[in-house]
Structure 1
Amino acid sequence: MADLLPFALAPRGEPSRRMAYASPVFALLLTLAFGALLFVLLGKDPVAALKVFLADPLKDKRAIGEVLLKTVPLVLCALGLSVCYRANVWNIGADGQLIVGGIFAGATVLWFDVPGHTINGTVVLVLASLAGIAGGMLWASLTAALRDRFNANEILVSLMLTYIAQQAMLYVVNGPLKDPNGMNFPQSKVFSPEFLLPNLLPGSRLHAGFAVMLVLVVLMTVFIFRSFAGYRLQVGGTAPLAARYAGFSARRSLWNALLVSGGSAGLAGAFEVTGPIGQLLPSISPGYGFTAIIVAFVGRLHPVGAVFGGIVMSLFYIGGEMAQSRLGLPSAIGWVFQGMLLFFLLACDTLIENRLRWRTRTA
């Protein structure tokens, strides 16, 4: 009977699936190995340099808090991107959606942050978070509308909208939301303390947004793997013909995926401006939305995996900054590690896929 099957994968599929989940581990080990070689070529002690990257960012409670703080925007963006990529919708513009979410959230806080205000700070934070979600969804809806109406490529559209979002941020911090007492710097005024997210870990800057992020990881896991809506999205992405036969709407999947992704990235932007930054600045994101693409794939497009991917990327961010101050290396060394991780992840995935195909042909 097995000889009649077109693909003899039944006894072999499970080991290959395990290899696919082990691929990020292999990629990380290769990244560290080649990173050590890079440090040698730069004339640095590889053991000491890797210690700066991996150990020093975790040396005490405050340092751990900084690592977890950076995981918040990375994981929130990666959660939405995972939904998009499972639905075969290639959203590359999470960074722009984060920025617009930050603008909406910051404008909401500034609306209430006036002398003599009587509204509760918690209420304002909730409203700012909802405004951030709405801003991210609005920006993602532009991509959805252009793809839906004109069949525009969502990769190019979402990417170009990111640069427009950056210009929109420059406009608001130099125009309507500019701090009149800011000595002509492009920034809004600093938010009042009651309009900032409460601290979650004493002695660090980790805020309550981290707890919200963990709740959303659970909710997104349920949505993707335990809901009919998530099932529709995945079927539409992996088997569009089967989805069409079952009556699933490709248009609906497109809109749902992008709105979920945009809302999640917008919430990340809201948490940035009401958390560690505390105001609107031209650079509220050092590229979190783009790095989240790597986080999503390192996490195997799984919400729980995104948390581990976010921690690794956060270590690379902070490790790059520490390498600049302690080793005299350019801060871009962190981006080099991120690029190597993505390269080796793609290489490992390709090798595993080709191995599976080879075994299929020889079965």
Structure 2
Amino acid sequence: MLKLTLPFRLELRGAPSRSMTYLSPLIAIVLTMLLGALLFIALGKDPLAGLKVFMIDPFSGKRAISELLLKSIPLILCALGLAVCFRASIWNIGAEGQFTVGALCSGAMLVWLDVPGHSISGGAGLLLMILAGIAGGAFWAGITALLRDKFNANEILVSLMLTYVAQLLLMWAVNGPLKDPNGMNFPQSKVFSPEFMLPMLISGTRLHIGFVVALVAAVVMGIFMTRSLRGFSLTVGGVAPHAARYAGFSSRSALWVALLLSGGFAGLAGAFEIAGPIGQLLPSVSPGYGFAAIIVAFIGRLHPVGAVLGGIIMSLLYLGGELAQSRLGLPSAITGVFQGMLLFLLLACDTLIEYRLVWKPKA
């Protein structure tokens, strides 16, 4: 049997410094842009024009900046919940499915409320819509928690597979009970009335109050993770599970709290998406925000403030990919390529900060 031997081995450096830990995402971002420039050259495009589309054009004016912040809202919210899970070493990979179910429940609530003569006003309807989204996302994450708790199922596989079930549920809903009867047979719900839409932050733009909610949520989660006993128990359980058990912290409780929080945040993001920029329930309610939020959480070093910065950076890639399609004639897959490069380089930088390559001597 052929055995592959590498000419080097990885050797642990010791505990990396805090400055290098936070410098790693910046190095990964710079390397992503450099590799992106090489990619543009390989595609026959001007690399400077390509980098300008990704790094400068999203800041060119009030409307562009508002779109950048708008796209960061679901990314920040999903990443806040995922950061809690990952800190507790609970690997929730299904934020996309929880986002979808949150949007579906919120859409169903608005379809029920948005009828002539309904007694519930717009403000109360918005609150019910938001609660429905949070409950839907938390319920979907709770399925993963239940299967892990009762049957020791792997939460990575369960949460990921539930994402596809959620997408099928959404497709069934917009082709069935939530389908717009006047929608010319398109798979979509009715367009919701303006009274049930989120208030705008800046007139003339699509940026809604959800951005303020995301910032407040980041502050609250920062306090929760660093100043509360529950947040401390989640962190200790992820870093040192034996010490957590010795201290009396319940791993079962940590599992449920982390997953329900994560699902609730993802469901809230889904609710904001349909009551904000989309304005109705569509099969394509998410371009992959739940999956991209995994990268956002790690760019932000699993810290709530870092999630805000990481969400804006990932929003740059989304907007840059859209602009690259319209201005440079590149395919839509360019966004996924940049996201993949960023994730790969972030993991590489983290690995090389914690380990060093040691070349084996020749025999």
> AA paired with 1:230?
G
Match of 2:4 in 1: none
1:281 corresponds to = 282
Residue 25 of structure 1 aligns with an amino acid whose one-letter code is L
Residue matched to 1:72: 73
Letter in 2 for 1:201: I
Superposition deviation, residue 110 in structure 1: 1.3
For residue 5 of structure 1, what is the aligned residue in structure 2? none
Asked whether the equivalents of residues 295 and 309 of structure 1 are also in contact (C-alpha less than 8 Å), the reply is yes
Structure 2 gap segments, 5+ residues each: 1-12, 359-363
> Partner of 1:290 in structure 2?
291
Asked whether 1:229 is paired with 2:230, we answer yes
Partner of 1:46: 47
Alignment-derived partner of residue 55 in structure 1? 56
Q: How does 1:224-263 map to 2 (within 5 A)?
A: 224-263=225-264
- Partner Cα distance (1:232, 1:139) in 2: 24
Which residue of structure 2 aligns with residue 21 of structure 1? 22
Q: For the residues of structure 2 that align with 1:42 and 1:174, how far apart are their CA atoms?
A: 40
Offset of 1:334 from its aligned partner? 1.3
TM-score by length of 1: 0.93
**Alignment correspondent of 1:208:** 209
* Inter-partner Cα distance in structure 1 for 2:156 and 2:120: 41
1:162-177 matches, within 5 Å, as 162-177=163-178
SS at match of 1:276: helix
User: How far off is 1:342 after superposition?
Assistant: 0.6
Q: Tell me, yes or no, if the aligned pair for 1:23 and 1:349 is still in contact at 8 Å.
A: yes
Report the CA distance between 1:119 and its aligned residue. 2.1
Q: Is the 1:61–1:203 Cα contact (8 Å) retained in structure 2? A: no
Q: What is the CA deviation profile of residues 294-349 of structure 1, one whole-angstrom value per residue up to 9, with x for unaligned ones?
A: 00000000010011111111111111111111111112111111111111100000
Pairwise CA distance, 1:58: 1.1
Where does residue 138 of structure 2 map in the other structure? 137
List per-residue Cα deviations over 1:212-250 (Å, max 9, x = no partner). Answer: 111100000001111100000011111110111111110
* 1:172-212 deviations in Å (ceiling 9; x for gaps): 10111110111110000000000000111122100011111
Aligned match of 2:33: 32
* Amino acid in the other structure paired with 1:114: V
Task: State the 1:118 CA deviation.
Answer: 3.3
Helix, strand or coil at the partner of 1:199: coil
Structure 2: distance between partners of 1:39 and 1:149: 50
**TM-score between the two structures when normalised by the length of structure 2:** 0.93
Q: Which amino acid aligns with 2:25?
A: P
Distance between the aligned counterparts of 1:34 and 1:100, measured in 2?
Answer: 36
For the 8 Å contact 1:96–1:166, the answer to whether it is kept is yes
Residue 43 of structure 1 deviates from its aligned partner by 1.0
CA distance, structure 2, for counterparts of residue 266 and residue 112 of structure 1: 19
What SS does the corresponding residue of 1:284 show, helix, strand or coil? coil
Mean CA deviation greater in 177-186 or 114-123: 114-123
Provide Cα deviations, 1:246-295, integer angstroms capped at 9, x if missing partner. 11110000000000000000000000011101111001001000000000
Partner of 1:121: 122
Trace 1:318-337 onto structure 2 (pairs within 5 A): 318-337=319-338
Q: What is the CA-CA distance between 1:109 and the residue it aligns to?
A: 1.1
Distance 1:341 1:159 in 2: 21
1:117 & 1:127 partners in 2: Cα distance?
14
State the 4+ residue runs in structure 1 displaced beyond 3 angstroms. Answer: none
Give, in whole Å, the separation in 2 of the partners of 1:334 and 1:182: 31
Residue 117 (structure 1) shift: 2.4
Identity of aligned residues (%): 69
Q: Is this contact kept in 2: 1:135–1:263, CA < 8 A?
A: yes
Matching residue's letter, 1:72: I
Give the aligned residue type for 1:113: D
Q: Please give the alpha-carbon distance, in whole angstroms, between the structure 1 residues aligned to 2:49 and 2:147.
A: 50
* Partner residue, 1:3: none
Measured against aligned partners, the alpha-carbon deviations of 1:27-80 in whole angstroms (never above 9, x if no partner) come to 000001111111111111111110011111110100101000000000000000
| Structure 1 Cα separation of the partners of residues 122 and 228 of structure 2 | 35
Distance in structure 1 (CA, Å) of the matches to 2:137 and 2:326: 35
- Separation in structure 1 between the aligned mates of residue 95 and residue 81 of structure 2, nearest angstrom: 8
Separation in 2, partners of 1:125, 1:163: 28
User: What is the RMSD of the two structures over their aligned residues, measured on CA atoms?
Assistant: 1.3
Q: 1:72-100: CA deviations, max 9, x gaps?
A: 00000000000000000000000000010
SS of residue matched to 1:274: helix
Deviation at 1:16, TM superposition (A): 1.7
Opposite residue 275 of structure 1, the aligned amino acid is G
Distance 1:105 1:305 in 2: 28
In structure 1, how many angstroms separate the alpha carbons of the residues matched to 2:127 and 2:117? 20
